[in-house]
Chains A and B, each alone.
Chain A
Amino acid sequence: MTDQPFAPVLEMTAVEHAYRRTVALRGISLSVEAGEIVAVTGPSGCGKSTLLHAAAGIIRPQAGSVRLLGHELETLDETARTQLRRRRVGIVLQFGQLVPELPILENVALPLLLDGHERASAYTAAKEWLDRAGLEVAGDTPPAELSGGQAQRVAVARALVTGPAVIFADEPTGSMDTIGGEHLLELMLGAARDHGTAVVLVTHDNVVAAHADREVRLRDGRVETVAVLR
């Protein structure tokens, strides 16, 4: 499975999705270039998390197409999607979403281990990213003992450990105080800029959105405005 060169990292075209009777996305088209940082904002319930889940292949939208790293997601089976996500995509969901049975070091090393990396090098990389994320707890700590902010740091470390081509982050600093959130955002976006990683960042926080190259603001499942900030 090889990526097509020079194509946008993400290309969503006329994407629609509804949960039972609630329409979340009403014809969203969005293109993200390599290395670009895009903030998706909008009032509660505007569809921004659904957009992120559709872009990352976590949900299958009911209409439209999502092209991620050159792959039409609709045409990939579940195994191929999982492999694409594990190798090329970093995902940070609200509240961390860690594997509760595994200590945090293993949580961070997991994408590398599942992809067949050697155990020692996977743990070394995981340890390094946990340190860079500013986590001051031992690697064998279970996720249940972490605060919301600590869990988010672990989730960001896990998203960065594979050196992904694109990161999808849903309110990555939502449970953190201002200074802690600033540090984590600097880490994530600094790593992204260093490696030419694209970032799609869902946030309700204007200060977080102001780190982006472009703001895409949603309302009622549609793109309301696009502002170039760079």
Chain B
Amino acid sequence: MATNEVVLALLRNGPAHGYDVKRDHDAWFPDARPLAFGQVYATLGRLERGGFVQILETRIEGGPERTVYALTDSGHRQLGEWLAQPAGAATSSADEIVRKTVAALRTGRDPGEFLARQRAAHLRRMRELTAQPPEGDSAARLARDHVIAHLDADLRWLELAVERVAAGHGTDDHHPTTPEEATR
């Protein structure tokens, strides 16, 4: 799971502290496993060391210390690159496809180009699998069929995503994207 990039996407809507990141993550992906606080702070620490996020301020308001994080230019670039790249066309990549599409919509981007690239990547993988009949017995063919069926399910979801975005059923949940915008 691309937790680093998802956290970058969550911060693109404006500076936030760890609690906001966790809350927004769980709202974006209600069917996924909730993000643990430990994971949130470990990820934010890693991203800060990598120069992708910066600490804006540390508040102590009668409770626990709260650190506010914001994306750096480098973080914006990293997020942009991740959102544009198709995931490897394997069955385990479905989760990442959903994450990229939801993250793009939630941050006010058009996922159309990504969805088209992902469709092509999936079809190419499917073509590789169908071009050569698998060697061996029907069990080998069944294993291949299983992969193809999963790719087909992803492709149908990608088609549906294109339809929903075209119909304007994506999201209007777009927030300011930089600390400057947030304070304007």
Binding site for B on A (CB under 8 A): 43, 206-207, 209-212, 215, 217, 219, 224-225, 227-230
Contacts of A212 in B (CB 8 A): 127
Instruction: Decide if B123 touches A210 in the complex (CB within 8 Å).
Output: yes
Proximity string of chain B (142-159) to chain A, C-beta cutoff 8 Å, 1 when within and 0 when not:
000000100110011001
Contacts of A217 in B (CB 8 A): 119
Give 24 pairs: A residue, B residue, CB < 8 Å, sorted on A: A43-B163, A206-B151, A206-B152, A207-B126, A207-B152, A209-B123, A210-B123, A210-B127, A210-B129, A211-B130, A211-B131, A212-B127, A215-B120, A219-B166, A225-B119, A225-B120, A227-B116, A227-B119, A227-B120, A227-B123, A229-B120, A229-B123, A229-B127, A230-B127
Report the Cα distance A66→B152, complex, angstroms: 33
Report the Cα distance A166→B152, complex, angstroms: 28
Nearest 8 Cβ contacts at the A-B interface: A227-B120, A210-B126, A206-B155, A210-B127, A225-B116, A229-B127, A206-B152, A210-B123
Binding site for A on B (CB under 8 A): 116, 119-120, 123-124, 126-127, 129-131, 148, 151-152, 155-156, 159, 163, 166
| Contact with B123, one of A43, A215, A219 (Cβ below 8 angstroms) | A215
Instruction: Decide if A207 touches B120 in the complex (CB within 8 Å).
Output: no
Report the Cα distance A43→B116, complex, angstroms: 14
Q: Is the interface of B mostly helix, strand, loop or mixed?
A: helix
Of the listed residues A210, A211, A225, the one surrounded by the most CB atoms of chain B closer than 10 A to its CB is A210
Report the Cα distance A113→B60, complex, angstroms: 92
Q: Is the interface of A mostly helix, strand, loop or mixed?
A: mixed
A195: shortest Cβ distance to chain B, in Å?
Answer: 18
Instruction: Decide if A206 touches B123 in the complex (CB within 8 Å).
Output: yes
Contacts of A225 in B (CB 8 A): 116, 119-120
| Contact with A210, one of B130, B156, B163 (Cβ below 8 angstroms) | B130
Contacts of B127 in A (CB 8 A): 210-212, 229-230
Contacts of B129 in A (CB 8 A): 210
Instruction: Decide if B148 touches A207 in the complex (CB within 8 Å).
Output: yes
CB closest chain-A residue, reference B116: A225
Report the Cα distance A207→B149, complex, angstroms: 9
A159: shortest Cβ distance to chain B, in Å?
Answer: 21
A16: shortest Cβ distance to chain B, in Å?
Answer: 22
CB closest chain-A residue, reference B113: A225
CB closest chain-B residue, reference A212: B127
